[in-house]
């Protein structure tokens, strides 16, 4: 067996009385990258010198984190309210567990509300233009954030024995998989997929109508997420034997695809 990605043996750093969790550090780094890159793209599109993205992020980022945590807890209630669960653990975000759909939906809604206020003051373009500017940066943030799962030794896939497999310590292996040592590094798959989609949006997004880039981001992410979910082995709620996140990805992706195609037709007619 040739293992390329061993699971880190340390997931936090002790600095005096403070503990820095690498999962949280990955999330914070991703957010910083998304704000910086989104602000750079928005300024280039609108010629506005104000840091609109940073201003909106003050509201949207906390809302997104709260929304992501709420989605995770609702979709995995047994871990917190089940027989061996501890409700207080629902607040321990540093241990992992942010549902992307809750983060994007609540965060985007909060961003929309804040943006509308700034739009009236600064004569900004439509929110669609703003959302398009953010899309690649959000994808890079998701890619960086996924490495937090690596440090926590979580959300890996089925057993596999290849040069790119992930070695998982015994204590992190779920029941039924204790005899296996290496698994699909799904954190890496998602990080690579998000990065590729981000690069594609950067290069081809200029050809799209306002709002289409963000829709394309969601559609592409959902497409990749479905396949990644199908190889994950962590405990998850299911509907008709299929993981909830697969259903959500298909529904959300389908709706955004419909919006993307509708916007394309409107552009063609004009």
Average the pLDDT over 23-33 and give the result.
Answer: 93
- Spatial neighbors of 229 by CB under 8 A, at least 6 apart, are 243, 245, 246, 249
Angle at 106 between CA 104 and CA 227, to 5 degrees: 30
Using the predicted structure, report yes or no on whether residue 113 has a pLDDT greater than 50.
Answer: yes
Predicted confidence at residue 93, as pLDDT, reads 74
- Give the DSSP H or E segment for 203: helix 186-204
Model confidence pLDDT, tens digit, residues 168-213? 999 999 989 999 999 999 999 999 999 999 999 999 998 999 999 9
Nearest alpha-carbon partner for 138 in 186, 95, 105: 105
Sheet of strand 182-183: strand arrangement = 5-6, 166-167, 182-183
Asked if 115 contacts 53 with a C-beta cutoff of 8 angstroms, the reply is no
> Would you place residue 69 in the very low, low, confident or very high pLDDT band (cuts 50, 70, 90)?
confident
Using DSSP, state whether 12 is helix, strand or coil.
strand
Model confidence pLDDT, tens digit, residues 236-263? 888 899 998 999 999 999 999 999 999 8
Using DSSP, state whether 118 is helix, strand or coil.
helix
Using DSSP, state whether 243 is helix, strand or coil.
strand
How far CA 181 is from CA of 159, 233, 236, 267, in Å, comes to 8, 14, 21, 52
Parent domain of 110: 5-269
Using the predicted structure, report yes or no on whether residue 3 has a pLDDT greater than 80.
Answer: no
Task: Give the pair of three-digit tokens for residue 86.
Answer: 């501890």
> What is the number of domains present in the chain?
1
By residue count, the chain amounts to 270
Predicted confidence at residue 269, as pLDDT, reads 43
Using the predicted structure, report yes or no on whether residue 131 has a pLDDT greater than 80.
Answer: yes
Name which of 15-29, 161-175, 250-264 the model is least confident about. Answer: 15-29
- Spatial neighbors of 31 by CB under 8 A, at least 6 apart, are 57, 61, 141
Using DSSP, state whether 224 is helix, strand or coil.
helix
Backbone phi, psi, residue 143, to 5°: -65, -45
Q: How many Å apart are CA 149 and CA 23, to the nearest integer?
A: 7
> Would you place residue 268 in the very low, low, confident or very high pLDDT band (cuts 50, 70, 90)?
very low
Using the predicted structure, report yes or no on whether residue 96 has a pLDDT greater than 70.
Answer: no
């Amino acid at each position: 067996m040739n293992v390329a990605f061993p699971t880190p043996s340390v997931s936090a750093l002790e600095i005096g009385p403070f503990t820095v969790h690498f999962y949280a550090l990955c999330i914070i780094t991703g957010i910083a990258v998304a704000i910086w890159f989104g602000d750079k793209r928005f300024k280039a599109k609108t010629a506005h010198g104000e840091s609109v993205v940073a201003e909106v992020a003050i509201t949207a980022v906390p809302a997104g984190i709260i929304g992501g945590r709420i989605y995770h807890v609702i979709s995995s209630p047994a871990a917190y309210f089940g027989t061996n669960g501890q409700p207080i653990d629902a607040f321990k975000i540093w241990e992992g567990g942010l549902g992307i759909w809750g983060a994007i939906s609540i965060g985007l809604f909060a961003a929309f509300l804040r943006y509308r206020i700034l739009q009236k003051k600064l004569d900004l373009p439509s929110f669609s233009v703003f959302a398009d500017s953010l899309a690649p940066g959000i994808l890079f943030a998701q890619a960086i954030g996924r490495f937090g799962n690596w440090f926590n030794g979580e959300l890996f896939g089925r057993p596999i024995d290849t040069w790119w497999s992930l070695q998982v310590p015994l204590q992190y292996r779920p029941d039924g998989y204790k005899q296996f040592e290496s698994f699909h590094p799904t954190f890496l798959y998602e990080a690579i997929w998000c990065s590729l989609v981000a690069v594609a949006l950067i290069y081809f997004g200029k050809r799209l109508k306002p709002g289409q880039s963000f829709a394309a981001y969601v559609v592409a992410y959902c497409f990749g997420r479905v396949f990644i979910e199908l190889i994950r082995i962590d405990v998850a709620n299911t509907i008709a034997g299929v993981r909830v996140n697969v259903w959500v990805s298909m529904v959300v992706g389908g709706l955004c695809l419909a919006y993307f195609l509708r916007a394309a037709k409107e552009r063609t007619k004009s």
